[in-house]
Structure 1
Amino acid sequence: MNPNGLVPCLEDDGLVLWESNTIVRYLARRYGQPPFTPEGIEVWAEAEKWMDWAAISFAEPFKQLFLNRVRRPPEERDDAAMEQGRQVCEKLMRIADDALRHRPFLAGDTLTVADLPLGCFAYAWLSMPIERPDLPHLAAWYQRLTERPAFQTAVMTPLT
């Protein structure tokens, strides 16, 4: 159904969607309820900012780190790309940590669609055997995510 031949892909009542964040936005708007689906254009914009930031800024350096650390055997790893990805991800996680200094979730006081993309990355980031800085606000946010049964079931799966 996805012309790119990739997952994720969603078919809902005849509508076919691909791209993770598009699917999350659609499901939230179609089936979600506040506070998970923000009320007001400003809160939606704040949530979508974080979703797009994770997809555009975070995904590529994370891919380099993840592929080389988790997916490739040691003899096939590109250590320079892995370290470059780790350093960029660290810089970006510091941005998220700073944003979480004054609020419990990325878009405000409650969990919203903003937290899903980075939450998925954070699970892998915090599960990989890599050097990481102490980011207390990010850690507290992540702890709140891990307490949610849906996060445990859908996200906290073995890294492969």
Structure 2
Amino acid sequence: MLHLWGRLSSINVRKVVLCAQVLGLDLPRTDAGLAHGVVDTPGYRAQNPNGLVPLLQDGDFTLWESNAIVRYLCAGQDRLYPRNLRQRFDAERWMDWQQTTLNPAGSPAFKQWIRTPAEQRDATVIAQSVAATEPLFALLDEHLSRQAFMAGDELGMADIPIACEVHRWWGLPQARPARPHLERWYAGWLALPASRGVLDLPLS
């Protein structure tokens, strides 16, 4: 009954695919967005008026916003979704932080390095993005020095969007400081078979 619309070059689509693979869900996917089109068609806009990806279909129910989709899938499987109220909202907090703070900081450098022709890149934009993003990765490193995962001692839904941000930031062709605790945490992700086809993809 599940179907996902969106291209894997989108970090937001990668979140959902990674989540589904961790949960062992069968999630057929149709490419949509950018060169694939689809998102501006009347049928798609009727399901997602924003014209963005991803879009999840679950029977006659549709859902957009990547982190909301991750929450939905985790809650539906009763895995990765904290039942303790405080732990759940600790996870919610980190998921919101990824979307509202970490992602906007790193996006300009990603777009310059990956989606802008070399002769048109603006080094100032990249430098500003690095200056905004690296303190946030330092915060993550310090947080993970105190616990194994984002919201406690077990892998949970909050780890998924952060992993996709790390994949994108560390995939850029630029120097970065050592982050031993974050590196330990991310190495654990890369050791999971569920990360294949998502966290090992080149950026595009």
For 1:49, the equivalent position in structure 2 comes to: 93
For 1:134, the equivalent position in structure 2 comes to: 178
Shift of 1:79: 1.4
Shift of 1:32: 3.6
Matched positions, count: 158
User: How far apart are the structure 1 equivalents of 2:168 and 2:200?
Assistant: 9
1:26-51 Cα shifts (integer Å, max 9, x gaps): 11111242xx2212111101111110
Of 83, 93, 96 in structure 1, the residue corresponding to residue 140 of structure 2 is 96
Of 52, 59, 62 in structure 2, the residue corresponding to residue 13 of structure 1 is 59
User: Residue type matched to 2:154 in 1?
Assistant: T
For 1:147, the equivalent position in structure 2 comes to: 191
Shift of 1:8: 0.6
User: How far apart are the structure 1 equivalents of 2:54 and 2:200?
Assistant: 17
Q: What is the SS of the residue equivalent to 1:10? A: strand
For 2:50, the equivalent position in structure 1 comes to: 4
Q: Once the two structures are aligned, what percentage of the paired residues are identical?
A: 37
Task: State whether residues 171 and 202 of structure 2, in contact with CA within 8 Å, keep that contact through their aligned partners in structure 1.
Answer: no
Q: What is the SS of the residue equivalent to 1:153? A: coil
User: How far apart are the structure 1 equivalents of 2:116 and 2:129?
Assistant: 15
For 1:77, the equivalent position in structure 2 comes to: 121
Q: What is the SS of the residue equivalent to 2:194? A: helix
User: How far apart are the structure 2 equivalents of 1:74 and 1:80?
Assistant: 14
1:60-84 Cα shifts (integer Å, max 9, x gaps): 1211010001111111112111111
For 1:121, the equivalent position in structure 2 comes to: 165
User: How far apart are the structure 2 equivalents of 1:99 and 1:157?
Assistant: 26
Shift of 1:7: 0.6
Runs of 5+ unmatched residues, structure 1:
none
**Structure-2-length-normalised TM-score:** 0.74
Q: What is the SS of the residue equivalent to 2:197? A: helix
**Structure-1-length-normalised TM-score:** 0.94
Structure 1 moving runs of 4+ over 2 Å: 152-156
Runs of 5+ unmatched residues, structure 2:
1-46
Of 23, 26, 32 in structure 1, the residue corresponding to residue 69 of structure 2 is 23
For 2:203, the equivalent position in structure 1 comes to: 159
